Amino acid sequence: MKTAITADAAAALIPDGARLLIGGFMGTGSPHRLIDALVKRGAQNLTVIANDTAWPGRGIGKLISARAAKKVVASHIGLNPETQAQLIAGELEVELVPQGTLIERIRAGGVGLGGVLTATGVGTLIEKGKRIIEIDGKQYLLETPIRADFALIGASKADYFGNLEYSLTAHNFNPVIALAADVVIAEPHTIVPVGVIPPDAVKTPGVLVTHLLERAF
């Protein structure tokens, strides 16, 4: 049984300088109330690891506009001119990682693997500084695991044990980042009694969830 906390209480748990894994794809499936609370708290120097930075005024884009992040690890920042402007001005460090590599590095960090081998990026700028390992005559890059202090998850439904269900394209990074952080904070649209989410529909077992955000309305 979890205790539901407010978004402000959750944001207060996250110190300045923390490394955050944040779910969402162009804002879809992001923990929007948690992000708003972090902006309201005036969080600083965060490292944000996520697929993208959405766009100004949307999801993770709000953290960028509030200059709450000192570093972003993402696959795509093309729809957020503010991220690109801060990058070009030297005010924000951005590490670009191919999307499939990013999710597998996070997965590796979450499931106890020492890294992954992928052909993605071989012969490109991405291979710089990485070990190339040949398996059966094919070249792969050794990509290292990613973990964070906190994972901030957007879910469709949670039950009192913290079991999570996701909807449609709001899955994206959420089920994977739930494994790769010391503290996992889940923000569900709705909270239902135990048993309402059938076991087959649970994508993130509640044992992974540290804190549950209270209901939205």
Partner 1 sequence: MDAKEIIARRVAQEVRPDTLVNLGIGLPSLVAHYLPKDVHVFFQAENGVIGLGPRPPEGMEDPDLTDAGGGFVTAMPGAASIDSAMSFGLIRGGHLDMTVLGGLEVDERGYLANWMVPGKMVPGMGGAMDLVSGAKKVVVAMVHTAKGGHKIVPRCTLPLTATRRVSLIVTEMAVIEPTDAGLCLRERGPGVSVREIENATAATLIVEGEPREMALN
Does position 117 interact with partner 1 (CB under 8 A)? The reply is no
What is the smallest separation between the CB atom of 117 and partner 1, expressed in angstroms?
Answer: 11
Residue 75 as a binder of partner 1 (CB under 8 A): the answer is yes
Q: Residue from 12, 96, 183, 192 that binds partner 1 (CB under 8 A)?
A: 96
157 binds partner 1 (CB under 8 A): no
Interaction between residue 176 and partner 1 (CB under 8 A) = yes
What radius of gyration, in Å, describes the C-alpha atoms of the chain?
17
Choose, by CB under 8 A, the member of 169, 182, 195, 216 that binds partner 1.
Answer: 169
Cα–Cα distance, 102 to 108 (Å, whole number): 10
190 binds partner 1 (CB under 8 A): no
The contacts of residue 14 (CB under 8 Å, 6+ apart) are 20, 38, 43, 46, 149, 150
Give CA–CA dist 12/138, Å, rounded.
48
From the CB of 151, what's the least distance to partner 1, in Å?
Answer: 14
Distances (CA, A) of 174 to 42, 118, 121, 177: 24, 22, 24, 5
Binding window for partner 1 (CB under 8 A); candidates: 3-11, 13-21, 87-95, 142-150: 87-95
The single-letter DSSP state of residue 169 is: G
**Which strand ranges, in their side-by-side order, compose the sheet holding 138-143?**
116-118, 138-143, 132-135
Residue 50 binding partner 1, by CB under 8 A: no
> Which of 33, 25, 18 has its CA nearest to residue 171?
25
Q: Which residues bind partner 1 (CB under 8 A)?
A: 25-29, 51-52, 54-55, 58, 74-79, 84, 87-88, 94, 96, 98-101, 103-104, 107, 118-126, 156, 166-176, 203
